[in-house]
Chains A and B, each alone.
Chain A
Amino acid sequence: MAAYEPRPPRGDRPLAVLGISDVVVIETSPAVPVSTHHVSAWGRWARDVAIPDAAREAIAQLARRYEIVWASEWGHNAHTAFADALGLPAEPWAFLPVQFDKGPRIRSYAAGLPWVWIDGDVVDLHEPDPREDGLIVRVDPAWGIAGVDLAAVDAEMDALIARRSTAPQPV
């Protein structure tokens, strides 16, 4: 157990695995309305970050269908630091403390559940390995999650689930 063991998924719905930087936080010249938020978690450090004004609703919309999992270098800070800005529930969502090449950690965590991973492409030091068990959505860093077509994500997830349900099952 040398590596952090995250709380396991509930298992009753697909996962939406979210990066923070480039997704919730815009680090370049924004193409969408953003607001600056002073974020911290448990004190001792703070950052002023630009969050798309539409992020709050986008994440709320995702949370209605998916179990949200943070996968980022923000580690356990993610939920607490962004709770106010994004209107997150008091009970923190699970997190995967991983900064680069997150695919293997996400697949291992999902353990067969369908998933969508929304992130910036800077985290891909190596090209992610395409698989049939999930979707990879890369955001435009100037738009963040505000630029993601969530209806299209839902449609792709529907198709993914349908493919999996008709695929031959291992005996």
Chain B
Amino acid sequence: MDTGTAYGMRHGAPLYELAQVGPGTPYGEVLRRYWQPVAKVEDATTRPISVRVLGEELILFRTRRGAAGLLHPRCIHRGASLFYGGVEEEGIRCCYHGWVFDTEGHCLEQPCEPDLGLHRDRVRQPWYPVQEQYGLIWAYLGPPDRKPVLPRYDTFEDLADDEVLIVNDEGVGGGGPAVLDFNWLQHWENVMDPFHVPILHARFSGNQFTPEMALIPEVSYEYTPTGVRSIQMRDLGDGRQLRRVTEVMFPNLRVVASPKLASGQTNMIGWVVPMDDTSFRIFTIARDSDREFLAKLRSTHEGRPWKDLDALDHQRLPGDYEAQKSQGDISLHSEDHLTTTDQGIAMVRRMMAKQSRLVADGGDPAGVVYEQGDALVRIEGGNYFEGAPEAPLLAAAVED
């Protein structure tokens, strides 16, 4: 008799407590305790745009005086969307009856009312605070009394004369489109899965990065005060060892050094920002002297970018997008068989559960700080070569 057939199999379920991001969900409340990037600074203009973040639809605009604002779209007067609003010196005017709101939701004018609104100071358009830093607009969607300071990162401080900050919201690291159409956690926990690299990105699809990354590493994992870290050792066979340090930092940062193995501390950080439960964006900041650094970093498939692949290519040369999207819109985590090399995944999920519990109990999640003096974050991730320094990278040797 056949055994183990699919007949009658029962499906598992997602870990919704970790995967969902909307208001009131356990991890959604964790995410809301941190500043989140929502757009590039140049995206905030006098033309309002819709931004979807953590399951909330919001309107981003910039007043003619230059202040960015992020408001709930539905006008508190009678519900018309501020997407159709007109931006003025101090705020945005609703298209329907002309109520004007500033970037903090104060109602400045109700033009059809006596004296422009006798009680306009008694109403407020729901809003979120924003700040601009490193070329991104950051929003805080959490409880006002727990608003932390906006962190700074040593990676992006003290630029050399020839360096610039490069900002990208096109899904660097996602291996697919700019808006990734599945649950964000599938991507984020992949950061702590170094063992997929030599399989998916090398043996299966050809070397999508460098020959060194095709080597199966020896990995040690550790919790840090702000996340989980993997330290991957690869013996390059020429007297050198590659020590590659990758981190997830809470609540959704990916600290992944260039898989093309630029040496030293990573020059980039990504934020995996859920738009909702089944889509997300990756905002990446890098410092480099080459403005095209992030664009050049995108993995290729037999030398071609993902967007140029046809259906057969996607099947024949899968990358991160194909693997993670195919896990489902939201993966059925309870069906996972975590095993020897999944320590990092298990640690991320466990630390997420801890943060959810902390927040639910009224505490502060990992890494949240309230004092400006504590705002600078030290980044440890990077590629570190140990051993004979004169030996070229395998990649260089291959190219030679």
Give chain A's interface residues, CB within 8 Å of chain B. 1-4, 21, 27, 41-48, 73-77, 97, 99-100, 121-123, 125
- The answer, yes or no, to whether B350 is at the interface (CB within 8 Å) is yes
Q: Which 4 residue pairs are nearest across A and B when measured between Cβ atoms? A: A73-B346, A1-B4, A125-B17, A46-B220
Q: Which of B4, B219, B221, B340 has the most CB of A within 10 A?
A: B340
B340, A77: Cβ atoms closer than 8 Å: yes
Question: Which residue of chain A lies nearest to B357 when distances are taken between CB atoms in the complex?
Answer: A122
B219, A45: Cβ atoms closer than 8 Å: yes
B350, A73: Cβ atoms closer than 8 Å: yes
For A27, the chain B residues whose CB sits under 8 A away are 223
Q: Select which of A4, A73, A74, A121 is within 8 A of B349 by beta carbon.
A: A73
B340, A45: Cβ atoms closer than 8 Å: yes
Complex Cα spacing A21 to B350, Å: 9
For A3, the chain B residues whose CB sits under 8 A away are 335
A45, B4: Cβ atoms closer than 8 Å: no
Q: Select which of B4, B221, B335, B349 is within 8 A of A99 by beta carbon.
A: B349
For A122, the chain B residues whose CB sits under 8 A away are 350, 353-354, 357
- The answer, yes or no, to whether B65 is at the interface (CB within 8 Å) is no
B337, A97: Cβ atoms closer than 8 Å: yes
Complex Cα spacing A73 to B337, Å: 9
- The answer, yes or no, to whether B377 is at the interface (CB within 8 Å) is no
Q: Select which of A74, A76, A125 is within 8 A of B346 by beta carbon.
A: A74
B15, A1: Cβ atoms closer than 8 Å: no
> In the assembled complex, how far is the CB of residue B24 from the closest CB belonging to chain A, in whole angstroms?
15
The answer to whether residues A125 and B353 also contact, given A45-B218, A73-B338 and a CB cut-off of 8 A, is yes
B353, A45: Cβ atoms closer than 8 Å: no
B15, A45: Cβ atoms closer than 8 Å: no
For A74, the chain B residues whose CB sits under 8 A away are 346
B222, A48: Cβ atoms closer than 8 Å: yes
Complex Cα spacing A97 to B335, Å: 10
B221, A45: Cβ atoms closer than 8 Å: yes
Interface string of B201-238 (1 = CB under 8 A from A): 00000000000000011111111000000000000000
For A4, the chain B residues whose CB sits under 8 A away are 337
For B335, the chain A residues whose CB sits under 8 A away are 2-3
Complex Cα spacing A165 to B113, Å: 79
- The answer, yes or no, to whether B315 is at the interface (CB within 8 Å) is no
A44, B337: Cβ atoms closer than 8 Å: no
Question: Which residue of chain A lies nearest to B221 when distances are taken between CB atoms in the complex?
Answer: A47
For B343, the chain A residues whose CB sits under 8 A away are 45, 47, 77
User: Could you give 11 example pairs across A and B, Cβ below 8 Å?
Assistant: A2-B4, A21-B350, A42-B340, A44-B341, A45-B219, A45-B343, A46-B220, A48-B220, A97-B337, A97-B339, A121-B357
For B17, the chain A residues whose CB sits under 8 A away are 100, 125
A44, B353: Cβ atoms closer than 8 Å: no
- The answer, yes or no, to whether B1 is at the interface (CB within 8 Å) is no
B350, A47: Cβ atoms closer than 8 Å: no
Question: Which residue of chain B lies nearest to A77 when distances are taken between CB atoms in the complex?
Answer: B340
> In the assembled complex, how far is the CB of residue B54 from the closest CB belonging to chain A, in whole angstroms?
20
> In the assembled complex, how far is the CB of residue B248 from the closest CB belonging to chain A, in whole angstroms?
16
> In the assembled complex, how far is the CB of residue A39 from the closest CB belonging to chain B, in whole angstroms?
10
For A123, the chain B residues whose CB sits under 8 A away are 353
A1, B3: Cβ atoms closer than 8 Å: yes
A76, B349: Cβ atoms closer than 8 Å: no
- The answer, yes or no, to whether B312 is at the interface (CB within 8 Å) is no
Q: Select which of B6, B219, B222, B357 is within 8 A of A44 by beta carbon.
A: B219
For B349, the chain A residues whose CB sits under 8 A away are 73, 99-100
The answer to whether residues A45 and B338 also contact, given A21-B350, A73-B349, A99-B349 and a CB cut-off of 8 A, is no
Question: Which residue of chain B lies nearest to A73 when distances are taken between CB atoms in the complex?
Answer: B346
For B350, the chain A residues whose CB sits under 8 A away are 21, 73, 99, 122
Interface residues of B in 313-351 (CB under 8 A from A): 335, 337-343, 346, 349-350
The answer to whether residues A99 and B220 also contact, given A45-B343, A73-B346, A74-B346 and a CB cut-off of 8 A, is no
Complex Cα spacing A76 to B346, Å: 13
Complex Cα spacing A48 to B347, Å: 13
Interface string of B156-179 (1 = CB under 8 A from A): 000000000000000000000000
B340, A47: Cβ atoms closer than 8 Å: no
Interface residues of B in 353-394 (CB under 8 A from A): 353-354, 357
> In the assembled complex, how far is the CB of residue A32 from the closest CB belonging to chain B, in whole angstroms?
19
- The answer, yes or no, to whether B9 is at the interface (CB within 8 Å) is yes
Complex Cα spacing A17 to B349, Å: 21
- What would 18 more interface pairs be, CB under 8 Å, given A2-B9, A45-B220? A1-B4, A2-B4, A3-B335, A41-B340, A43-B218, A44-B216, A44-B217, A44-B219, A44-B341, A45-B219, A46-B221, A47-B222, A48-B222, A76-B340, A97-B338, A99-B350, A122-B354, A125-B353
